[in-house]
Structure 1
């Protein structure tokens, strides 16, 4: 389903907007990377889309329906969020964690079903953690744990997936694994919006890059069209060279050394 954000304004008190009139349109099956300096509103944007932070103005549409007008359980059928630092119950197994993703589909008259079991098994396979199903989450590596969290989000079976810094605290190898998995998730027809601090990774793995500064969109479009030294300077106040990667032409950002002061 397409995700559309229209005129979204949100903050944490009167006169303190963190987002100011943000517009965003993402077709199904695309990966969007939201980038920008700390405090620019990236996480607030995801929280507003996921119904965790009520906007002061604007609309969030998934498949043409305003998620803030839906009941919470129905909204959870449309949008799934993996926050920056998810917390799992103590000693939970991988399979147990992934089953939590099916919670929005349970109810008084609908208990665990064969469909829930099928969706859980599919999520475990799709993320490559099926062999870890009986292992405790807290005994896995960081990369393995992040794959398990992604499996839980996939089990929710929402067409829009929001990921807040999914590669945070991962080494390069595990970060690449997670980002390649994100691409696979989108290829299955889901819309993925992820917040990333690594601009080069965002440029390589996203179909659309959205750059925020001071709560407003300063650039939006395919990474190869919008990532240039002027954008990097506008976002981070750093001078850089932006070069095409030899293999595929994806933008590579190389910071220029600042003049030394004596």
Structure 2
């Protein structure tokens, strides 16, 4: 399912945070949204998930304006994994993943064998089957993040929105999560994720979208989009851009603060 954002504008308390953003994500693609703190990345994701009402513009999921969808239909199309998800105390991994099936429940539709199979598929896809009966609070950060992804997968939506899925993870666990994201996309799901890690965005995303002050200032394949000028504009630092010998992905090496503009 494709995702289209058209002239989306959103904000808080009279302040514009996302300003006339356009974005097209084709089915099965991974888009990484990058930019400095406070540039509007999370607000953009929350508005795309209909947790925040836009001032202007619209979001189309599979051609349907999400503003026109019922709650159940919306939950069948789009899943959001927020930046700091909260779980009930002492919940097991299996219990957490089952929460992903709530949009499929209803007055005349209770827990079924199909729900159980969806949970099993999500656990298997994220490599967390062996952790199913463990408590979430007993696990490492990387394990927990894979469990949260399993919950989002269990919802079985074609569109996944991930807000900083590698936040607070060491480099090993971050790579583990990003490789999982890539494998999820290979199964046909469409993913938009907010990342601070430019190297991760360059290697694992099909498209990088750079935000600054709520506006898109660059968008395209990582190899042609991430460069010294863009990094200077976003973060105010000078860099060297190297290219990985394995696949040509750009690697950003900081070289100090940029000189102030004269």
For 1:122, the equivalent position in structure 2 comes to 121
- Please list every run of 5 or more consecutive structure 1 residues that lacks an aligned counterpart in the other structure: none
For 1:6, the equivalent position in structure 2 comes to 6
Which residues of 2 match residues 80-119 of structure 1 at below 5 A? 80-119=79-118
Per-residue deviation, 1:114: 1.2
For 1:24, the equivalent position in structure 2 comes to 23
1:215 aligns with 2:214: yes
Which residues of 2 match residues 15-164 of structure 1 at below 5 A? 16-164=15-163
Which residues of 2 match residues 221-236 of structure 1 at below 5 A? 221-236=220-235
Per-residue deviation, 1:258: 4.7
Per-residue deviation, 1:259: 9.1
Normalised TM-score (structure 1): 0.97
Task: Tell me the number of residue pairs that the alignment of Structure 1 and Structure 2 aligns.
Answer: 259
Corresponding residue SS for 2:110: coil
Per-residue deviation, 1:247: 1.6
Return the alpha-carbon distance in structure 2 between the equivalents of residues 81 and 259 of structure 1: 36
Q: CA RMSD in A?
A: 1.1
Return the alpha-carbon distance in structure 1 between the equivalents of residues 8 and 190 of structure 2: 19
Runs of 4+ that moved beyond 2 A: 257-260
Return the alpha-carbon distance in structure 2 between the equivalents of residues 33 and 43 of structure 1: 12
Per-residue deviation, 1:74: 1.0
Per-residue deviation, 1:13: 2.0
Return the alpha-carbon distance in structure 1 between the equivalents of residues 257 and 215 of structure 2: 28
Deviations 1:25-68 (A, max 9, x none): 00010100000000100000110011100100111001000111
For 1:248, the equivalent position in structure 2 comes to 247
* Change in CA separation of 1:120 and 1:234 when aligned onto 2, cut-off 3 Å: same
For 2:165, the equivalent position in structure 1 comes to 166
- Please list every run of 5 or more consecutive structure 2 residues that lacks an aligned counterpart in the other structure: none
Corresponding residue SS for 2:118: helix
Deviations 1:135-157 (A, max 9, x none): 10010111100000000000000
